Amino acid sequence: MTGTAEMLAEDIIEALGGEHEFSLQLAENVQAEALQSVQDLVVISSTYGKGEVPDPGRKLFQALQANPEQLAHLRYAVISLGDSVYHETFAQGGKHWRTLLQGAGAREMHPPLLLDASADTDATAIAVDWAGAWLAESLAEPASTADLD
Amino acid sequence: MSVAIVGSGPAGFYCADMLSKALPRQAIHIFERLPLPFGLVRYGVAPDHPGTKAVTRLFERVMQRPQLRFFGNVALGRDLDLRDLEQAYTVVILATGAGIGQKISCPGVEQAPGICGIDLSAHFNGKPVRPESLPRRAQSICIVGNGNVSLDAARLLAKPEAELLACGVPQALLDWRAGLGLREIHVCGRRGIADTRFSSVELEELTQLADFHPVVDARDVRDVHDQAGTNQDAAAILGRWAGAGNSGRRPIRFHFDQGIEAWRDGALLTRGRDGVPQAIPAQMIVHAIGQRGEAIPGVPFDPESGRIPNVNGLVRGKERTFVAGWAASVAGGQIALSRQSAQALLPAILAHFPEHVVS
């Protein structure tokens, strides 16, 4: 939406890249079927309007809501971006993704990260730390089934 | 081969971001008429909404790229001619925004001490102002406008000093505010209660003020359910405030469906849709009825719309000069729209760089 989620994704990949292969996709460019070949998914979602999934991700979100079995095989973690000025709906964009993934039977590999745009903190540093922990946990338990993408 | 971008607000920076990724070896130069970058993200977003300003981290990231240069305090039309830019650069992008606040026009308004809402926000954000140019005493201020800029103005006039200081509001502005002797704030507009452009979160913020509380006349909500208004969320919140008791805090009083007729003797004279006249006390007016672009010497301009005339972003009469963001289309809407505006321009701009390969 404003590019913050994409920027964080790039920062995480730059920090952790090295030996591991990451694929950065903008939600607006992803077809639901493409997730079939993915094992480990990190969703970085901002929040829009009244706590909703932002426009660029909405089509994908709705397609997956209609066919949640496409998500069952996934191992996932979520970063949710919000602004604490919006008390009631703070960082709810990511919550919707977690509810969707949980309901589909996917496995959450790491607790979600909530980032507050109004906090005077270094979002990149926090996200990279979190992602490091997520990665360590995911590697400790290699996905047992098909090839990793 | 290179790109010149005039204006360093979101539209300018999103263009710079996308172009620098697509053309990593081209010089991309940003010209900004103010000394500091980021346009309305710096000066228009209220200082107590820091989360909305967080997008500047991305813009700062863009500025670090070696191909980028930023020239502040350089004004197109004054220091630079558009023709010079067009000769020196392959492509010129005008991202000059719509930063001029519109003022209400009615008999007497020229005599009314006043300020535009976006200028109020700008000064609270640190844009230099000579305090003596601001209205001095105002027991009652009327904000005219039915959008979030009005709510920003109300909050900046109402919020406790300590909270605003913590957001970086300059002490000089807070001293000016303290000297007003302000007892009441009015928010007045021509729209009905269910047609206002207030967003719910910004309305709710008015209930969290220590020294002021929002007030709505019960008569204004009487038949809101019959109205097919476009903003039922706002109507619901405003409706809840109707007839609420006096909390001892100073009022921020809303007036709906008001046509403004004149300003006289420290009062804004209005008439409701029902024909009933009102005199809203107003020693000062805050104009928050919209914004337009400014005519820049040497740049095509449509005075009626306040925009730079264009077809899909290509400035009319030009081959390599584009316009992005609010300078091109209707002002209003979120920062994300500026990003979309920049994205939509990309293909036409990149067509001027033949070595660019579209993957």
The CATH number linked to B22 is: 3.40.50.720
pLDDT value for B359: 44
A contacts of B57 (beta carbons < 8 Å): 4, 7, 123
Q: Are A25 and A33 in contact (CB under 8 A)?
A: no
Amino acid code (one letter) for A122: D
Please indicate, yes or no, whether residues B131 and B82 belong to a single structural domain of this protein. Answer: no
- What does the pLDDT look like over A51-94, one tens digit per residue? 888 888 888 999 999 999 989 999 999 999 998 888 778 888 89
Which distant-in-sequence residues (6+ apart) come within 8 Å of A22 by Cβ? A12, A13, A16
- Kindly state the tokens that stand for A91: 């960082």
ipTM, interface predicted TM-score of the complex = 0.79
The residue range of the domain holding B226 is 103-287
A contacts of B333 (beta carbons < 8 Å): none
Q: Say if the Cβ atoms of A2 and B55 lie within 8 Å.
A: yes
Q: Are B48 and B167 in contact (CB under 8 A)?
A: yes
Please indicate, yes or no, whether residues B185 and B241 belong to a single structural domain of this protein. Answer: yes
Domain count, chain B: 2
Q: Say if the Cβ atoms of B55 and A50 lie within 8 Å.
A: no
pLDDT at residue B170 is higher than 80: yes
Please indicate, yes or no, whether residues B159 and B172 belong to a single structural domain of this protein. Answer: yes
A contacts of B52 (beta carbons < 8 Å): 83, 85, 117
Closest CA relative to residue B41, chosen from B50, B32, B33, B31: B50
Selecting from B201, B233, B335 the residue whose C-beta is nearest the C-beta of A86 gives B201
Domain-ending residue, one of B257, B287, B317: B287
Please indicate, yes or no, whether residues B169 and B255 belong to a single structural domain of this protein. Answer: yes
d(CA B300, CA B309): 7
Please indicate, yes or no, whether residues B276 and B134 belong to a single structural domain of this protein. Answer: yes
Closest CA relative to residue A101, chosen from A127, A136, A130, A65: A65
pLDDT at residue A148 is higher than 50: no
| Residue A105 counted as domain residue | yes
- Look at residue A114 and give its three-state secondary structure: strand
Domain count, chain A: 1
- Kindly state the tokens that stand for B72: 């502040």
Please indicate, yes or no, whether residues B210 and B296 belong to a single structural domain of this protein. Answer: no
- Look at residue B277 and give its three-state secondary structure: strand
Q: How many CB pairs under 8 A join A and B?
A: 49
| Residue B359 counted as domain residue | no
Is the CB of residue B51 less than 8 Å away from at least one CB of chain A?
Answer: yes
Q: Say if the Cβ atoms of A7 and B14 lie within 8 Å.
A: no
Q: Say if the Cβ atoms of B50 and A50 lie within 8 Å.
A: no
| Residue A129 counted as domain residue | yes
Is the CB of residue B152 less than 8 Å away from at least one CB of chain A?
Answer: no
C-alpha distances in Å from residue B204, one per residue of B198, B201, B227, B240: 10, 5, 22, 11
CATH number, residue A112 = 3.40.50.360
H or E element that contains B250: strand B250-255
| Residue B358 counted as domain residue | no
Side-chain half-sphere exposure of B169, counting CA atoms within 13 A = 28
CATH number, residue B250 = 3.50.50.60
Angle made by CA atoms B272, B275, B281, in degrees to the nearest 5:
45
A contacts of B50 (beta carbons < 8 Å): 117-118, 120
d(CA B19, CA B37): 18
The pTM of this model reads 0.90
Amino acid code (one letter) for B29: H
Selecting from B52, B61, B336 the residue whose C-beta is nearest the C-beta of A83 gives B52
Closest CA relative to residue A79, chosen from A7, A23, A18: A7
Amino acid code (one letter) for B98: A
Selecting from B61, B200, B336 the residue whose C-beta is nearest the C-beta of A1 gives B336
| Residue B332 counted as domain residue | yes
The 10 Å Cβ neighbour count of residue A28 is: 12
Q: Please provide the average confidence, as pLDDT, over all residues in chain A.
A: 87
By CA distance, what is B18's nearest residue in A?
Answer: A3
Closest CA relative to residue A6, chosen from A68, A57, A60, A40: A57
Q: Say if the Cβ atoms of B50 and A118 lie within 8 Å.
A: yes
Q: Say if the Cβ atoms of B57 and A123 lie within 8 Å.
A: yes
pLDDT value for A51: 82
| Alpha helix ranges (H) inside chain B | 10-22, 39-43, 50-53, 56-63, 82-88, 117-124, 148-158, 161-166, 171-178, 200-205, 218-221, 232-241, 335-350
Q: Say if the Cβ atoms of A4 and B335 lie within 8 Å.
A: no
- What does the pLDDT look like over B25-67, one tens digit per residue? 999 999 999 999 999 999 999 999 998 999 999 999 999 999 9
Closest CA relative to residue B223, chosen from B187, B192, B254: B192
Strands (E), A8-117: 40-45, 75-82, 107-108, 113-116
**Residue indicated by tokens 């519109």:** B102
- Kindly state the tokens that stand for B251: 């009022």
- What does the pLDDT look like over B230-249, one tens digit per residue? 888 899 999 999 877 778 89
pLDDT value for B37: 97
Please indicate, yes or no, whether residues B26 and B138 belong to a single structural domain of this protein. Answer: no
| Residue A106 counted as domain residue | yes
| Alpha helix ranges (H) inside B206-270 | 218-221, 232-241
Selecting from B61, B233, B336 the residue whose C-beta is nearest the C-beta of A2 gives B336
Is the CB of residue B343 less than 8 Å away from at least one CB of chain A?
Answer: no
User: What is the bridge-based pairing of β-strands B184-188 and B91-94?
Assistant: unpaired
Is the CB of residue B200 less than 8 Å away from at least one CB of chain A?
Answer: yes
- Put simply, the chain B residues between 75 and 104 with a CB less than 8 A from any chain A CB are none
Confidence band for A147, pLDDT divided at 50, 70 and 90: very low
d(CA B134, CA A53): 42
Residue B63 pairs in a beta bridge with: none
- What does the pLDDT look like over B91-138, one tens digit per residue? 999 999 999 999 999 999 999 999 999 999 999 999 999 878 899 999
Closest CA relative to residue B185, chosen from B92, B106, B102, B255: B255
Is the CB of residue B54 less than 8 Å away from at least one CB of chain A?
Answer: yes
| Residue A88 counted as domain residue | yes
Q: Say if the Cβ atoms of B51 and A118 lie within 8 Å.
A: yes
| Residue B295 counted as domain residue | yes
**Residue indicated by tokens 């008439």:** B271
pLDDT, mean of residues A106-117: 94
